[in-house]
Amino acid sequence: MTNAQLQQLAEEWQRLLRIQDWDVTVRFARPVEMFDRDLLGQCRTLANLKEAQVLICDPAQAPEPMDVEYVLAHELGHILLDPLATKSNMLHVEQALHGFVHALIKLRKGDKHEEQVDLVTAVKHAGSSGNKDRAEGRTRRRRKA
Ligand SMILES: [Zn+2]
Protein backbone atom coordinates (compact mmCIF):
# COMPACT_ATOMS: atom_id res chain seq x y z
CA MET A 1 0.00 0.00 0.00
CA THR A 2 1.32 3.44 -0.93
CA ASN A 3 0.98 6.62 1.12
CA ALA A 4 -1.59 7.86 -1.42
CA GLN A 5 -3.66 4.70 -0.96
CA LEU A 6 -3.33 5.04 2.79
CA GLN A 7 -4.57 8.64 2.64
CA GLN A 8 -7.49 7.50 0.47
CA LEU A 9 -8.38 4.79 2.98
CA ALA A 10 -8.23 7.39 5.77
CA GLU A 11 -10.69 9.58 3.87
CA GLU A 12 -13.02 6.60 3.55
CA TRP A 13 -12.85 6.01 7.30
CA GLN A 14 -13.36 9.70 7.99
CA ARG A 15 -16.69 9.40 6.16
CA LEU A 16 -17.61 6.24 8.10
CA LEU A 17 -16.74 7.89 11.43
CA ARG A 18 -18.36 11.22 10.48
CA ILE A 19 -15.17 13.22 10.90
CA GLN A 20 -14.95 14.51 7.34
CA ASP A 21 -14.63 18.03 8.72
CA TRP A 22 -11.19 17.16 10.13
CA ASP A 23 -8.05 17.81 8.13
CA VAL A 24 -6.28 14.49 8.52
CA THR A 25 -2.86 13.73 7.10
CA VAL A 26 -1.61 10.18 7.30
CA ARG A 27 1.53 8.43 6.10
CA PHE A 28 3.65 5.38 6.74
CA ALA A 29 6.56 5.89 9.11
CA ARG A 30 9.65 4.08 10.30
CA PRO A 31 9.63 2.83 13.91
CA VAL A 32 12.22 5.48 14.88
CA GLU A 33 9.78 8.22 13.86
CA MET A 34 7.11 7.05 16.31
CA PHE A 35 6.73 8.25 19.91
CA ASP A 36 7.85 4.78 20.86
CA ARG A 37 9.55 2.18 18.66
CA ASP A 38 6.99 -0.53 19.38
CA LEU A 39 3.96 1.55 18.38
CA LEU A 40 2.04 0.46 15.31
CA GLY A 41 0.27 3.79 14.96
CA GLN A 42 -0.07 7.20 16.55
CA CYS A 43 -2.42 10.15 16.24
CA ARG A 44 -1.61 13.73 17.12
CA THR A 45 -4.63 16.03 17.21
CA LEU A 46 -5.03 19.78 17.23
CA ALA A 47 -8.66 19.91 18.31
CA ASN A 48 -9.16 23.67 17.99
CA LEU A 49 -7.98 23.49 14.36
CA LYS A 50 -9.63 20.13 13.67
CA GLU A 51 -6.33 18.83 12.38
CA ALA A 52 -4.80 15.44 12.96
CA GLN A 53 -1.51 13.88 11.94
CA VAL A 54 -1.52 10.12 11.89
CA LEU A 55 1.54 7.93 11.48
CA ILE A 56 1.16 4.25 10.64
CA CYS A 57 4.17 2.02 11.11
CA ASP A 58 5.51 0.68 7.83
CA PRO A 59 4.33 -2.97 7.93
CA ALA A 60 7.67 -4.11 6.49
CA GLN A 61 9.45 -2.64 9.53
CA ALA A 62 6.77 -3.29 12.14
CA PRO A 63 7.74 -5.37 15.16
CA GLU A 64 5.11 -7.94 14.21
CA PRO A 65 2.43 -8.58 11.58
CA MET A 66 -0.19 -5.85 11.54
CA ASP A 67 -3.53 -5.05 9.94
CA VAL A 68 -2.96 -1.59 8.46
CA GLU A 69 -6.67 -0.81 8.16
CA TYR A 70 -7.32 -1.78 11.76
CA VAL A 71 -4.49 0.42 13.04
CA LEU A 72 -5.61 3.31 10.83
CA ALA A 73 -9.24 3.07 12.00
CA HIS A 74 -8.08 2.86 15.62
CA GLU A 75 -5.97 6.00 15.29
CA LEU A 76 -8.81 7.89 13.59
CA GLY A 77 -11.11 6.76 16.41
CA HIS A 78 -8.89 8.71 18.78
CA ILE A 79 -10.13 11.90 17.13
CA LEU A 80 -13.59 11.12 18.52
CA LEU A 81 -12.60 9.71 21.90
CA ASP A 82 -9.56 11.73 23.00
CA PRO A 83 -11.71 14.67 24.19
CA LEU A 84 -13.22 12.23 26.71
CA ALA A 85 -9.89 10.80 27.79
CA THR A 86 -8.16 11.60 31.05
CA LYS A 87 -4.98 10.19 32.53
CA SER A 88 -7.01 7.82 34.70
CA ASN A 89 -9.34 6.46 32.00
CA MET A 90 -6.98 6.04 29.05
CA LEU A 91 -7.06 2.27 29.43
CA HIS A 92 -10.86 2.28 29.14
CA VAL A 93 -10.69 4.54 26.10
CA GLU A 94 -8.23 2.14 24.46
CA GLN A 95 -10.40 -0.85 25.29
CA ALA A 96 -13.51 0.86 23.93
CA LEU A 97 -11.67 1.76 20.72
CA HIS A 98 -10.35 -1.77 20.40
CA GLY A 99 -13.82 -3.28 20.73
CA PHE A 100 -15.63 -0.90 18.38
CA VAL A 101 -12.92 -0.90 15.72
CA HIS A 102 -12.63 -4.68 15.87
CA ALA A 103 -16.39 -4.93 15.24
CA LEU A 104 -16.32 -2.37 12.42
CA ILE A 105 -13.44 -4.10 10.64
CA LYS A 106 -15.14 -7.45 11.08
CA LEU A 107 -18.32 -6.09 9.51
CA ARG A 108 -16.32 -4.56 6.67
CA LYS A 109 -14.03 -7.46 5.88
CA GLY A 110 -16.05 -10.42 7.08
CA ASP A 111 -14.08 -13.63 7.18
CA LYS A 112 -11.07 -11.95 5.57
CA HIS A 113 -10.47 -10.23 8.87
CA GLU A 114 -8.16 -12.33 10.95
CA GLU A 115 -8.06 -12.22 14.71
CA GLN A 116 -4.54 -10.78 14.57
CA VAL A 117 -5.92 -7.44 15.69
CA ASP A 118 -5.97 -8.88 19.17
CA LEU A 119 -2.27 -8.14 19.07
CA VAL A 120 -3.19 -4.49 19.12
CA THR A 121 -5.02 -4.15 22.41
CA ALA A 122 -3.13 -1.05 23.49
CA VAL A 123 -3.34 -2.15 27.10
CA LYS A 124 -0.13 -0.40 28.07
CA HIS A 125 -1.21 2.94 26.70
CA ALA A 126 1.09 5.69 27.87
CA GLY A 127 -1.73 8.22 28.10
CA SER A 128 -2.20 11.57 26.46
CA SER A 129 -0.08 14.61 27.01
CA GLY A 130 -2.80 16.12 29.19
CA ASN A 131 -3.18 19.01 26.78
CA LYS A 132 -6.52 18.55 25.06
CA ASP A 133 -5.25 20.34 21.98
CA ARG A 134 -2.42 17.89 21.62
CA ALA A 135 -3.87 14.63 22.84
CA GLU A 136 -1.86 11.74 21.56
CA GLY A 137 -3.42 8.43 20.74
CA ARG A 138 -1.28 5.40 20.30
CA THR A 139 -1.76 1.88 19.17
CA ARG A 140 0.57 -0.36 21.03
CA ARG A 141 1.11 -4.04 20.63
CA ARG A 142 0.45 -6.28 23.58
CA ARG A 143 3.52 -6.76 25.66
CA LYS A 144 4.87 -10.24 25.73
CA ALA A 145 4.41 -11.45 29.28
ZN1 LIG B 1 -5.00 3.89 20.88
Q: Which residue has the higher pLDDT, 139 or 75?
A: 75
Residue type, 75: E
Average pLDDT, the chain: 83
Percent of the chain at pLDDT exceeding 70: 76
Q: Label residue 64 by pLDDT band (50, 70, 90).
A: confident
pLDDT score of 3 more than 60: yes
Task: Give one DSSP letter per residue of the chain, joined into a string.
Answer: --HHHHHHHHHHHHHHHT-TTSEEEEEEE-GGGSSSTTEEEEEEEEGGGTEEEEEEE-TTTSSS---HHHHHHHHHHHHHHGGG--TTTHHHHHHHHHHHHHHHHHHHHGGGS-GGGGGG--TT-----S-GGG-EEEEEPPPP-
Strand-strand pairing, 51-57 and 23-29? parallel
**What distance in angstroms lies between residue 73's CA and the mean position of ligand 1's atoms?**
10
Ligand 1 midpoint to CA 93 (Å): 8
Cα 86 to ligand 1 centroid, rounded to whole Å:
13
How confident is the model over 82-113, as pLDDT tens digits? 999 999 999 999 999 999 999 999 999 886 66
Q: Could you read off the pLDDT of 39-55 as tens digits, one per residue? A: 999 999 999 999 999 99
Neighbours of ion ligand 1 (CB under 5 A): 94, 122, 137, 139
Please tell me the distance between residue 110's alpha carbon and the centre of ligand 1 in angstroms: 23
Asked if residue 17 has pLDDT above 80, the reply is yes
Question: What's the CA-to-centroid distance between 124 and ligand 1, angstroms?
Answer: 10
Q: Provide the residue ranges of all domains of the chain, joining segments of one domain with +.
A: 3-140
